[in-house]
Amino acid sequence: MGKKYLNRLLARAAQNRVAQNRAGRRRGVAMLEFTLLGIPAIFLFIAVVTCSIDMWQFFTLSYAVDQTARYTALHGATCTQNGNTCQITRADAAAYFQAAALALNPASTTMILTDNSGSVTCSPVTACPSSTSFFPAVGSNTPVTNNVTVQARYALINPMAMFWPGGGTVAAGNFTVTAKSTQEILF
C-alpha cells in the first residue's frame, strides 16, 4: 500500500509540473489576443457609432427639409384672403427648419428656398432670420398649384477618416449630404 501511494503521489507531482509548464508558456497570451482582436473590435465599434450618427444626421436633414416644404406649401400667398394672416417670411421658414433639424449644427447647414419668383440661399441657415420678405413670394408669380422647393446641404464630419492608413495629416473627414423636397402650394 505504501508503494501505490508513493506512485500516485509521484504521478500527481508530475501532472502539476506539466500544468505549471503549460501556464508558463501561456504567459503574455492575453496581451497578444487583445492586440490581435481587441484593437480591431474597438475600431469596428467606433466605426458603427460614427456611421450611426451620420445616418441620424442625414435622416434629420431629410425630415427637416420635408417638413419645411410642407409648412411653406400650407402658407402660400393666397392664405391671407378673408382676413387670415397665415403667410410666412423666409425667417419663419428658416426658424421652422431649425426647429425640425435638432441633430444638425445650423452654422454648417445651407438652405435654399425656391418658388416661381426665384431662389434664395441661406448660407448658413442662421442668416435667414434677418429676412422679412414673404416666402412663397406675394403676387401673381406664385398662385396655388405652383411648387415650392426646399433644399438643404449639411457637411458631415466623420472622425473615421483619421484612422485611414496613409491619410497624411490627422484630421476628421468631411462630406456633404443633400436633401430636397418639392411641394405644391395649397393656399
- Cβ burial, residue 69 (10 Å; 0-12/13-18/19+): buried
Per the structure, the count of domains in the chain is 1
Domain that holds residue 27: 2-184
pLDDT tens for residues 67-96? Answer: 999 998 888 766 766 666 778 888 889 999
Between 83 and 42, name the one with better pLDDT. 42
pTM over 0.85: no
Single-letter amino acid code for the residue at 134? F
pLDDT tens for residues 109-121? Answer: 999 999 888 888 9
Cell output for 172 = 476628421
How many other CB atoms sit within 10 Å of the CB of residue 142?
Answer: 21
pLDDT tens for residues 150-162? Answer: 999 998 887 766 6
pLDDT for position 140: 46
